């Protein structure tokens, strides 16, 4: 069998188109423009790239983008004061504080100071609780993107065996909750799982989110399974020349693609979906804040 390659880049473009169309209608009908505020503390190069990309795509779908850049040594109280201001700004419907934060800041305190209704990352403890109890919440962007791709690929997920490899708060745990919400039988596997090949081998859906390069080989995967690879790992690529590197996922793509029914590549799979879902969440937050109809197919 040769797996179908799930084109995350194209799917993310279609999500952005849907968002843009709904934003245009919103502006026409109610005069409201959704706004996303992104806060970056310090100069982490990877974070700067993400934030630039978020700002660009926010504007491209017709929303307002507000960027706040703070020095790495900014006191925590100043960041909390900025968040308070954004919480009370009616033009701001979504707030994202880029992680990681500098060591002197308490990440949990900062995240939990964001108004849950504007928490487009879905990291606030209230949103975590709402998701865990099956109530309407803001859903973390990467798992939401994975869920959208799975629904698109498989239709109903009801009754399917799903394994999520990785138990992070940002991906693994919310992913498991979303799959449970769609009536999958869910296993969360992690570094202490006894028989990982056996657990993976029973799954119709494999979501790999451990951050270990190519740790899932094709021969663990059940023939025909759908494989979603969240990992983005940079490894040496001497075949490309001295000192060169390349990106790989948590799944060994070449061997897995011979067994799986469908698989996301790295890069070009889950990655592009994350920012697309951030835009979708900002639109959703704006609609909820103004008691307007939410877009179809862009929420859990």
Q: Which residues are catalytic?
A: 54, 98, 121
Ranges within 129-168 binding ligand GUN (CB under 6 A):
141
- Which range touches ligand GUN (CB under 6 A), out of 3-11, 27-35, 95-103, 188-196? 95-103
CA dihedral in degrees (93, 50, 228, 151; nearest 10)? Answer: 30
- Minimum distance, C-beta of residue 121 to ligand GUN, in the bound complex (Å): 5
Which residue's Cβ has the minimum distance to ligand GUN? 99
Query: What's the CA gap between 20 and 207, in Å, rounded?
Result: 29
Question: Which residue, 3 or 208, is less far from ligand GUN as judged by CB?
Answer: 208
- Told to check if 96 binds ligand GUN by CB under 6 A, we report yes
Query: What's the CA gap between 229 and 132, in Å, rounded?
Result: 23
Ranges within 210-269 binding ligand GUN (CB under 6 A):
none
The maximal CA–CA distance of the chain, rounded, in angstroms, is 57
Question: Which residue, 141 or 251, is less far from ligand GUN as judged by CB?
Answer: 141
- Minimum distance, C-beta of residue 38 to ligand GUN, in the bound complex (Å): 8
- DSSP string covering 113-163, please? TS-GGGBTT--SHHHHHHHHTT------HHHHHHHHHHHHHHS--TT-EEE
- Which range touches ligand GUN (CB under 6 A), out of 56-64, 94-102, 216-224, 236-244? 94-102
Considering only 119, 121, 229, 250, the residue that binds ligand GUN (CB under 6 A) is 121
Per-residue exposure over 282-299, b if at least 16 CB sit within 10 Å of its own CB, e if not: bbbbbbbbeebeebeebb
- Told to check if 98 binds ligand GUN by CB under 6 A, we report yes
Ranges within 99-118 binding ligand GUN (CB under 6 A):
99
- Minimum distance, C-beta of residue 97 to ligand GUN, in the bound complex (Å): 6
Looking at beta carbons, which pairs linking 150-155 to residues 24 or more positions away fall under 8 Å?
150/179, 150/182, 150/205, 150/226, 150/228, 151/182, 152/11, 153/4, 153/6, 153/226, 153/262, 154/205, 154/226
- Minimum distance, C-beta of residue 39 to ligand GUN, in the bound complex (Å): 9
If binding means CB under 6 A, how many residues of this protein chain bind ligand GUN? Answer: 6
- Binding region for ligand GUN (CB under 6 A): 96-99, 121, 141
């Amino acid at each position: 069998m040769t797996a179908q390659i799930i084109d995350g880049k194209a799917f993310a473009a279609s999500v952005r188109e849907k968002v843009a169309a709904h934003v245009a209608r919103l502006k026409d009908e109610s005069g409201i423009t959704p706004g996303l505020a992104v806060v970056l503390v310090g100069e982490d190069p990877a974070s700067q790239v993400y934030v630039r990309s978020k700002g660009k795509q926010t504007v491209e779908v017709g929303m307002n983008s507000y960027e706040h850049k703070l020095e790495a040594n900014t006191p925590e109280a100043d960041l909390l004061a900025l968040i308070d201001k954004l919480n009370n700004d009616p033009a701001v419907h979504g707030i994202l504080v880029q992680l990681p934060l500098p060591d002197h800041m308490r990440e949990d305190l900062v995240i939990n100071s964001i108004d849950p209704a504007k928490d487009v990352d879905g990291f606030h403890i209230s949103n975590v609780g709402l998701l865990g109890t099956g109530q309407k919440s803001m859903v973390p962007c990467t798992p939401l993107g994975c869920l959208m791709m799975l629904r698109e690929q498989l239709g109903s997920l009801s009754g399917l065996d799903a394994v999520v490899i990785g138990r992070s708060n940002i991906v693994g745990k919310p992913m498991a909750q979303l799959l449970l919400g769609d009536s999958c039988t869910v296993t969360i596997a992690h570094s202490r799982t006894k028989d990982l090949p056996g657990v993976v081998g029973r799954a119709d859906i494999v979501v790999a989110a451990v951050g270990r390069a190519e740790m899932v080989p094709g021969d663990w995967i059940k023939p025909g399974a759908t494989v979603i690879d969240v990992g983005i790992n940079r490894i040496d690529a001497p075949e490309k020349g001295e000192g060169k590197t390349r990106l790989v996922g948590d799944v060994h793509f070449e061997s897995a693609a011979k067994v799986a029914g469908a698989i996301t590549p790295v890069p070009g799979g889950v990655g592009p979906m994350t920012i697309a879902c951030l835009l979708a969440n900002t639109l959703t937050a704006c609609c909820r804040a103004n008691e307007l109809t939410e877009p179809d197919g862009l929420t859990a």
